[in-house]
């Protein structure tokens, strides 16, 4: 118990360190917000205005929860890059020679990135409202949807941390994250309803963790599901799946990342 409390304290100090990094290099903040803003504007306007919607629903309303989730997914790249930079820094030697919880640097990173995600989320929602998207089932459900989005981000953060520790140098992060993230967004319900895809692709798309969160958000925000009412299990249980997937991903990738970190330069 005492150990856990100390580990939490160490992680909190590390979180503060990562936040201080953001404050000391404000140009990075600009870069963080570029992504959500361009995603909403580009996808919301370009696709949102051009697409015909078969069931008469608003495509922009359909699209935006997907764009929110996509932003969370690509946030993995920023996490991986920071971690890869950190792993190269000499300061990691000092962290590793201190009598602190070994996971502190990584948990500190994940908490700091969650704060960062909160800011991104605010930008996303504001941009969304500006382009005409909104929630229809009240603030309570909307907040729940945001919580699910944060859960997804948490999972992506731990995958990002693991990837960041695997790559030999920070410049290669992009070349790994993109092929990882792109199929995940393409084969999902972000742009097209899975029911409209060929059978097996539709199944993959429905079980995709990204799709789970997006479907749950559409349900909770009251945004159209497009082609409406799939009766498959993942579609019916979107919220449960949107809770389960992040938990599973964190349970797999957090221990992998911590173990990898402990073996750095041994």
Partner 1 sequence: MAEHAIVAEGLRKRYGDTYALDGFDLTVAAGTLHGVLGPNGAGKTTAVRSLATLLRYDAGRATVCGYDVAREPHRVRGAIGLTGQYAAVDETLSGRQNLVLFGRLHRMSKRAAGRRADALLERFGLTEAAGKSAGQYSGGMRRRLDLAASIIRTPRVLFLDEPTTGLDPRSRNEVWDAVRDLLAAGTTVLLTTQYLEEADQLADRISVVDAGRVIAEGTADELKARIGGDRIEIVTRRAADLVAVAGLLERITGTAAVTDPDTRRVGAPVTDRVAALTEVVRALHAAGLTVEDIGTRRPTLDEAFLRLTADRTGKTEVAA
- List contacts with partner 1 (CB under 8 A): 6, 9-10, 13, 16-17, 20-21, 24-25, 89-100, 104, 265-266
Measured from the CB atom, the residue of 32 and 191 that comes closer to partner 1 is 32
**Which SS3 state, helix, strand or coil, does residue 108 take?**
helix
CB of 112: closest distance to partner 1 in angstroms?
13
Measured from the CB atom, the residue of 83 and 220 that comes closer to partner 1 is 83
Measured from the CB atom, the residue of 74 and 95 that comes closer to partner 1 is 95
Task: Tell me the C-alpha to C-alpha distance, in Å, between residue 218 and each of 122, 184, 185, 224.
Answer: 18, 18, 16, 6
Measured from the CB atom, the residue of 122 and 169 that comes closer to partner 1 is 169
Place of tokens 């370009």: 46
With CA atoms as reference, report the closest residue to 218 among 197, 241, 234, 239. Answer: 239
CB of 108: closest distance to partner 1 in angstroms?
10
CB of 1: closest distance to partner 1 in angstroms?
16
92, 86 Cβ separation under 8 angstroms? yes
CB of 81: closest distance to partner 1 in angstroms?
14
Measured from the CB atom, the residue of 26 and 229 that comes closer to partner 1 is 26
How many whole angstroms separate alpha carbon 215 and alpha carbon 212? 5
How many whole angstroms separate alpha carbon 9 and alpha carbon 39? 36
Tokens of 121: 């989320």
Place of tokens 């092929």: 179
How many whole angstroms separate alpha carbon 120 and alpha carbon 49? 24
At residue 142's C-alpha, the angle toward residues 45 and 52, to 5°, is 30
CB of 28: closest distance to partner 1 in angstroms?
10
163, 176 Cβ separation under 8 angstroms? yes
CB of 122: closest distance to partner 1 in angstroms?
25
Measured from the CB atom, the residue of 19 and 256 that comes closer to partner 1 is 19
9, 105 Cβ separation under 8 angstroms? no
């Amino acid at each position: 118990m005492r150990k856990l409390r100390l580990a939490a304290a160490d992680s909190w100090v590390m979180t503060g360190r990562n936040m201080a990094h953001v404050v000391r290099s404000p140009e990075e903040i600009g870069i963080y917000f570029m992504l959500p803003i361009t995603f909403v504007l580009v996808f919301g306007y370009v696709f949102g205005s051009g697409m015909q919607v078969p069931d008469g629903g608003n495509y922009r309303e359909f699209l935006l929860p997907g764009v929110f989730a996509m932003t969370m997914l690509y946030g993995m790249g920023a996490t991986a890059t920071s971690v890869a930079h950190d792993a190269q820094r000499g300061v990691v030697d000092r962290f590793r020679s201190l009598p602190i919880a070994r996971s502190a640097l990584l948990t500190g990173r994940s908490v700091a990135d969650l704060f960062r995600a909160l800011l991104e989320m605010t930008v996303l929602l504001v941009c969304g409202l500006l382009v005409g998207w909104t929630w229809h089932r009240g603030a309570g459900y909307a907040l729940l949807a945001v919580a699910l989005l944060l859960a997804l981000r948490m999972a992506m953060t731990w995958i990002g941390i693991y990837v960041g520790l695997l790559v030999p140098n920070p410049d290669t992060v992009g070349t790994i994250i993109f092929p990882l993230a792109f199929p995940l967004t393409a084969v999902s319900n972000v742009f097209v309803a899975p029911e409209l895809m060929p059978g097996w692709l539709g199944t993959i798309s429905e079980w995709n963790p990204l799709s789970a969160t997006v479907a749950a958000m559409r349900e909770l925000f009251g945004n159209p599901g497009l082609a409406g009412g799939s009766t498959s299990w993942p579609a019916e249980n979107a919220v449960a799946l949107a809770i389960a997937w992040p938990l599973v991903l964190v349970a797999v990738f957090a221990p992998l990342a911590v173990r990898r970190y402990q073996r750095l330069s041994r």
